[in-house]
């Protein structure tokens, strides 16, 4: 909220807001409802649209995604009342895009049928209380690029691809990775409108402790790779974004760029690349 002027200078016209959720018997919010509402209102007051989703992807969630608690549909069903509550809040506060949950595979690990059943049961209930665009979030490996039945959803929000050190010596590999990601989306979810979410380049130094991309965690999670494999230079981050937009710009509805911790682009060469792309689009069609 303290960076609104720079956000707008970057050409950003919509921001993502996660509602942190936790399991304590039932699924509940574990942050202030009023603060989220105030944030929505403040962004709108400054001319920025909002995209809201419930977020279990944090270490305090309370369920290990590899455990039996996260297998099958019961945990997703427990989430439904909270999803509908926030869909109603999103309607009341004019949220432009709403998604039921961030990374649903964390609540039903690799069980595509359970996620599909839940998504289809939930959609008509959402349509009754919320009249903006309804999105569904999908995440790639290592947590499961399961193919879900998302018929009827307005947007598919996809993440799970990161720039690696290969870009410094082999940019053609990163280009291939981006193209393969788009091809996989089209094959798995034909006819959908796509939004690319949290695809970026990690420059460090800070990180969330549970992410295997953090150099300190690499020996445990990916011992076959060098510890700094997912950490690139500021210049490589800028190169990645220019390549990324070149290859995806005309095929997707828009982007949400990662800004937390070592993913941020503020004050780095990538910021100028982002501004040039976003403002060039804004001149034509009011931005993505």
pTM exceeds 0.95: no
- My answer on whether 85 and 180 are in the same domain is no
pLDDT at position 157, please?
A: 96
Contact of 16 with 53, CB cutoff 8 Å? yes
Same domain, 120 and 207: no
pLDDT tens by residue, 186-241? 888 988 999 999 999 999 988 776 677 788 888 888 899 998 899 999 999 999 99
Residues 102 and 237 in one domain: no
Q: Which residues of the chain have pLDDT under 50?
A: 142-143, 284-285, 287-288
- Do you find a cis peptide bond into 142, omega within 30 degrees of 0? yes
136/13 same-domain check: yes
List, in sequence order, every beta strand (DSSP E) within 25-170.
Answer: 26-29, 49-55, 97-99, 133-139, 155-159
Asked if residue 110 is part of any domain, the answer here is yes
Ranges of H-type helices in 10-63: 33-45
Q: Which of 151, 186, 211 is the last residue of a domain?
A: 151
Residue 263 lies in a domain: no
Contact criterion met (CB below 8 Å) for 243 and 235: no
Specify whether 94 is located in the same domain as 205: no
Say yes or no: 134 and 240 in one domain: no
Q: What is residue 69's predicted lDDT score, i.e. its pLDDT?
A: 81
CA dihedral 177, 179, 181, 185 (to 10 degrees): -170
pLDDT of residue 143: 44
DSSP, res 251: T
| Residue 249 pLDDT | 96
Whether residues 175 and 235 fall in one domain: yes
Strand partners, 157: 137, 195
**Residue 6 belongs to domain with CATH number:** 3.20.20.80
**Same domain, residue pair 170 and 244:** yes
- pLDDT, residue 91, reads 98
Start-to-end CA span in the chain (Å): 21
Domain that holds residue 145: 1-151
| Domain-terminating residue out of 151, 176, 209 | 151
Domain count, the chain: 2
Q: Are residues 137 and 183 in the same domain?
A: no
Assess whether 1 and 129 both reside in one domain: yes
Q: What is the pLDDT of residue 59?
A: 83
Residues 144 and 195 in one domain: no
- Report yes or no on 133 lying in a domain: yes
Which of 133, 151, 169 lies at the terminal end of a domain, its last residue?
Answer: 151
Residue 281 within a domain: no
Q: Within a domain: residue 287?
A: no
Question: Given this model, what pLDDT does residue 112 score?
Answer: 85
**Are residues 181 and 224 both part of a single domain?**
yes
Residue 155: per-residue pLDDT: 97
**What is the predicted pLDDT for the residue at 284?**
45
190-214 burial by CB neighbour count: b if 16+ within 10 A, else e?
A: eebebbbbbbbbbbbeebeeeeebb
């Amino acid at each position: 909220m303290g960076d609104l002027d720079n956000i707008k200078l970057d050409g950003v016209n919509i921001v993502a807001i996660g509602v942190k959720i936790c399991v304590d018997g039932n699924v509940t919010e574990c942050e202030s409802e009023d603060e989220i509402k105030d944030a929505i209102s403040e962004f709108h007051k400054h001319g920025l649209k909002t995209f809201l989703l419930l977020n279990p992807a944090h270490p305090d969630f309370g369920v290990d995604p590899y455990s039996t608690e996260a297998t099958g549909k019961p945990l997703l069903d427990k989430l439904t009342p909270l999803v509908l509550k926030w869909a109603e809040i999103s309607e009341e506060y004019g949220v432009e895009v709403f998604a039921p949950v961030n990374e649903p595979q964390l609540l039903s690990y690799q069980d595509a049928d359970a996620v599909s059943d839940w998504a289809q049961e939930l959609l008509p209930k959402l349509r009754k209380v919320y009249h903006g665009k309804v999105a569904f979030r999908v995440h790639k490996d290592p947590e499961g690029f399961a193919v879900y039945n998302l018929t009827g959803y307005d947007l598919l929000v996809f993440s799970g691809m990161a720039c690696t050190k290969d870009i410094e010596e082999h940019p053609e590999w990163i280009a291939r990775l981006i193209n393969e990601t788009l091809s996989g989306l089209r094959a798995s979810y034909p006819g959908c409108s796509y939004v690319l979410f949290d695809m970026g380049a990690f420059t460090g130094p800070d990180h969330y402790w549970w992410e295997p991309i953090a150099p300190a965690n690499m020996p445990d999670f990916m011992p076959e790779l060098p510890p700094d494999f997912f950490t690139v230079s500021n210049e490589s981050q800028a190169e990645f974004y220019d390549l990324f937009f070149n290859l995806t710009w005309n095929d997707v509805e828009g982007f949400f760029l990662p800004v937390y911790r070592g993913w941020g682009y503020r004050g780095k060469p990538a910021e100028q690349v982002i501004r040039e792309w976003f403002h060039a689009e804004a001149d034509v069609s009011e931005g993505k």
